[in-house]
Amino acid sequence: MALTGIQIFKLLPKTNCKECGVPTCLAFAMNLASGKAELDACPYVSEEARAQLAEASAPPIRPLTVGYGDTQLKMGGETVLFRHEKTFFSPPGIAALVTDDTAPVKIEEKCRRYMAYQYERVGLNLRPELIALKCLSGDGKKFAQAAKLILDKSDMGLVLMCEDPALMKAALDAVADANPLIYAATKANAAEMGKLALDTDCPLAVKADGIGALEALTGTLTGMGLKDLVLDSGARTVKQSFEDSVALRRAALLAQNRALGFPTIAFPCEMTDNLAMQTTIAAGLIAKYAGLVVLSDFEGSVVFPLLLERLNIFTDPQRPMTVTQGIYEINGPDPQSPLLVTSNFSLTYFIVGGEIEASRIPTWLAVMDTEGLSVLTAWAAGKFVGDAVGMFIKKSGVSEKIKHQNLVIPGYAAAILGDLEEELPGWNVTIGPREAAHIPKFLKEYRIG
């Protein structure tokens, strides 16, 4: 269990020196207990106390990684039940199931297909990260070969699914370097699976029949020295899986139950054969706390909506997504190309930029820092007003790129026209369309000067 504020206070120097930024050691202890302070902020904690306090300052759900390279999945680290309280940190992984009795040529085909599900959105590359390889062959050599083949033919991480420690060892001997998730330790094999995880330093999934049994099993495994665990409550119905997912999050965050303070894995693929239904279940579990969902297959209609949902849920609600302020070239503009200005809310930028690109008309797009607010909101907040936009254009360096003084402002910012013309004497300012979809038509008809 995590330490309380008073327990933490007893371990602090109690000098009230204020160097941690709060007036007393007690206030610091309370902040530490509620996750609002970092232990490193106090330079006077003894090593002995530090070891004890590390537990109190650790995230209630242990952070860990699965896989390797660019697709490495970060799990855990969550500190809140609801996104609006702060933010969620680790977008859940999305995995497709492959069995080791599949012909190698088909495994290769799946690897190719799964890697192709990548989508550019607001400047990010969205894609699934993992393949869950299930051992159905009962043959350690085949299991290991299939695991190796997936690593050779894809850049995706692995979940190795097998409850026989001997078969798991065979696969781990081949691919442990890729940091696969070992699935799973159960009551029957906990000692052997735990040893494999310790020997290879790979994360270990723990499967039990219900949350109570899960808690007992994680206790056994952490007693062996294991730290990076992933929980599977064993639920294979939608209702029970959803309930367990919520209960585990609440146990970790509200009851501060360290035995359940680990990320989770869920298996929509074992709840129904219908892929569309699996997608719907996965969508619910992504919204409610799953750390990793495993589907029976990937299709574009499955992967894209889940990736988009995940992106939206795991965007920090307190920090709008932004693009860097600057002058962007679209379609290879020259000094006589039109100049448009917009805000740096990333969705605005990518929609406006996308429409300009679709018009095929070479254009300069000036993106002004509005702290991530859209044009209309930024205008209402006084961040996209005439003098500010004018000042930005003057200092942006665009005058060195273009040989005219014509600027197009968003239709929603028409009210800034007068102030902007005052700020930019000699410039010809035109009010552009309100809707980005009308930009191509506008650009085709727009004449500089």
256: left (phi over 0), alpha (psi -120 to 50) or beta: left
Query: Residue from 1, 6, 10, 17 that binds ligand SF4 (CB under 6 A)?
Result: 17
Interface pick for ligand SF4 out of 13, 138, 219, 300 (rule CB under 6 A) = 13
Residue selected from 11, 12, 221, 229 as contacting ligand SF4 according to rule CB under 6 A: 12
Q: Is 3 in the site for ligand SF4 (CB under 6 A)?
A: no
Stretch that binds ligand SF4, among 8-16, 157-165, 180-188, 270-278 (CB under 6 A): 8-16
How many CA atoms lie within 13 Å of 264's alpha carbon, on the beta-carbon side?
A: 33
Stretch that binds ligand SF4, among 16-24, 74-82, 298-306, 320-328 (CB under 6 A): 16-24
Q: For residue 230, what are the contacts with CB-CB under 8 A and spacing of at least 6?
A: 64, 66, 75, 181, 183, 203, 204, 205, 206, 262, 263, 264, 265, 291, 292
Task: Report yes or no: 399 and 419 within 8 Å, Cβ to Cβ.
Answer: no
Instruction: Work out whether 251 is an interface residue with ligand SF4 (CB under 6 A).
Output: no
Could you tell me which of 336, 399, 340 has the C-alpha nearest to residue 364?
A: 340
Work out the angle at residue 396's Cα, subtended by the Cα atoms of residues 389 and 393, and round it to the nearest 5 degrees. Answer: 30
Smallest distance, Å, CB 8 to ligand SF4? 9
DSSP class of 180? P
- Candidate segments 15-23, 110-118, 137-145, 194-202, binder of ligand SF4 by CB under 6 A: 15-23
Which stretch, 13-21, 196-204, 333-341, 363-371, contacts ligand SF4 (CB under 6 A)? 13-21
Output the six-digit token pair for 86: 């702060």
Q: In sequence order, what DSSP letters do the residues of 347-362 get, joined into one string?
A: HHHHHHHHHHHHHT--
Of 19 and 55, nearer to ligand SF4 (C-beta) is 19
Residue 276 identity (one-letter amino acid)? A
Q: Given the complex with ligand SF4, which of 18 and 360 has the nearer CB atom?
A: 18
Report how far residue 157's alpha carbon sits from residue 403's, in angstroms, rounded to the nearest whole number. 51
Pairing of strands 326-330, 363-368: antiparallel
The 8 Å CB, 24+ separation contacts for 411-418 are: 411/435, 412/375, 412/376, 412/379, 413/375, 413/376, 413/379, 413/384, 413/389, 415/379, 416/379, 416/384, 416/385, 416/386, 416/389, 417/386, 418/386
Nearer to ligand SF4, 12 or 176 (CB): 12
Our CB check for ligand SF4 shows the closer of 43 and 223 to be 43
CB of 54 to ligand SF4, least distance (A): 15
Does 6 bind ligand SF4 (CB under 6 A)? Our answer is: no
Q: Which stretch binds ligand SF4 (CB under 6 A): 12-20, 254-262, 365-373, 401-409?
A: 12-20
Smaller CB distance to ligand SF4: residue 28 or 143? 28
Q: Is 15 in the site for ligand SF4 (CB under 6 A)?
A: yes
Residue whose tokens read 């038509």: 441
In the complex, least distance from residue 22 CB atom to ligand SF4, rounded to whole angstroms: 6
In the complex with ligand SF4, the residue whose CB is nearer, 29 or 330, is 29
Residue window 32-51: x/- pattern of binding to ligand SF4, with contact defined by CB under 6 A:
----------x-x-------
Q: Is 53 in the site for ligand SF4 (CB under 6 A)?
A: no
Stretch that binds ligand SF4, among 9-17, 166-174, 207-215, 410-418 (CB under 6 A): 9-17
What is the rounded distance in angstroms from the CA atom of residue 361 to the CA atom of residue 331?
6
Which tokens in the block code for residue 20? 């941690």
Which residue of 7, 16, 79, 87 would you call a contact of ligand SF4, by CB under 6 A?
A: 16
Q: Tell whether residue 137 is a contact of ligand SF4 (CB under 6 A).
A: no
- Asked if residue 229 binds ligand SF4 (CB under 6 A), the reply is no
Q: What are phi and psi of 18, to 5 degrees?
A: 75, 5
| Residues 346-385: x where in contact with ligand SF4 by CB under 6 A, - otherwise, as a string | ----------------------------------------
Which residue is listed with tokens 């306090």? 53
In 3D space, the residue among 335, 265, 329, 303 whose CA is nearest the CA of residue 90 turns out to be 265
Interface residues toward ligand SF4, by CB under 6 A: 12-13, 15-20, 25, 28, 42, 44
